[in-house]
A and B are shown apart, each in its own frame.
Chain A
Amino acid sequence: MSLDFALSDEQQALGEAIATMTKRFAGRREEFIQMILKEHRFPEELWQALCEVGLLGCLVPEEYGGNGMGLLAMAMGLEQLARRGLGNALLVLGAMDACCIVRCGNEEQKRRLLPRLASGEDKYCFAVTEPNAGSNTFRIETLARKEGATYRLSGEKTFITGADVADRMLLVARTTSAAECEAQGLPKAFGLSLFIVDTKARGIDLKPIPTHGIEGMIQYTVHLDGVEVAQEDLIGEPDQGAMALFNSLNPERILAAASALGMTDYLLERSCEYARGRVLFGQKPIAAYQAIQHPLARIKAQSEAVRLVTYKAAWAFDQGHHPGQVGPFANMAKYLAAEMAVDACDRAIQTHGGYGFSEEYGIIYLWTTARLLRTAPISQEMVLNFIGEHVLELPRSY
């Protein structure tokens, strides 16, 4: 009987590749971190380097220009970046889009879209949330009306991360309205369709939403006023987009957990480094006090456990397990990772004392980023609902 936790040579090499890549920017690390967390911009040089390494190609098969290393590799890569304080939400969004296109796109679409997505030449964001449809995607109202060989999209999307820097967005719209579905007795999951939309298309208007917590990106409200989308840019069958959409939510949660893991490592490292050097009473550094040390040790122990669940979830996805089987682990990983990241940031602030709030030390910027993970990409409550209903088989609670 064996259960092997050893990293493969390629997984180790992946870690070293990210280390080598980030080392190239070691002198500018602080500048980059400030840019990402304070200015909500992502350094283009770093993006190009990530593309060169090929992190975006993990979920794209080799025949379509990716490297096909899978979600576990991507999660490890993202974790490595985050543990150096370098987070990027666009990587996660691009990964979701890649999932949808790989699973549901036709051959022509895969050949046309995936190589440029995998190489990072085209940046992709993801547009599903609407003012009246957050956790309940079925309530989206953005409508896509067929007119000959094109669709015309109208509606409003909100909290769309990186819509300004993205070249394209994967947008979820209704091709059959909720009212029509109800009238025809169709299930509420019917009528959702996925479109690839050019972010610079006519009829699109972006309005920034001043928010905190998103790393390296700004969120936008996207107004769509009769935006023309060619039929070739409908991914999958019309009205049947729900399944593809839900399949891509597992990777999103897993990658969010991986980011939280890396962030936790980063915060622990910063905390230990500060505590070792800070002497307040006598000769001992504050690191020698149990009140400082124990919470950090507890988070370290927690992080090893969260890492196992996160990797297991990614592994299950890569094995091609049914989304319903990946879901429990993806949700559990996200839940545990978010709680841990908040805890880690809280302890990092506490360890740093007053400096925990100083812009110079920068820990305080991560507070909103860590806290965001309890709300997005899915709220902790919705995760618990999922586990209650689908894992424990309790009655649906909402």
Chain B
Amino acid sequence: MADTASVYLVEHVLLVAIPDNITDTEIMSLQEELSTRIVSDGARGVVIDIAALEIVDTFVGRVLAQLSSMARLLAAETFVVGMRPAVAMTLVELGMDLHGSRTALTLSHALRALRSEGLA
């Protein structure tokens, strides 16, 4: 096993940082783990830190969007944080808007937003 992402629960929010070398299979397992943990941990928010990702391609973008939609069905809000500016510009060119997920510059911005909504 390589360094797969670990999921932490803090104030009813699941936090996960995606490592740069994550494979398609690993990110799919992460998606599954998060959906299970939202329910088992009673999480109201999910924060996914993608600061380590040098790029986000259509596959990873699709997984992030699906994860957000899934989390919403399970009554949790998803924030994607730490996106690099060049990644944002490239995603727009790819026609991917990560629909369903909210974005924040940093983890603390995301937590502040979740707290203000009473979710954290």
Chains A and B come from one and the same complex: no
* Chain B residues within CB distance 8 Å of chain A: none
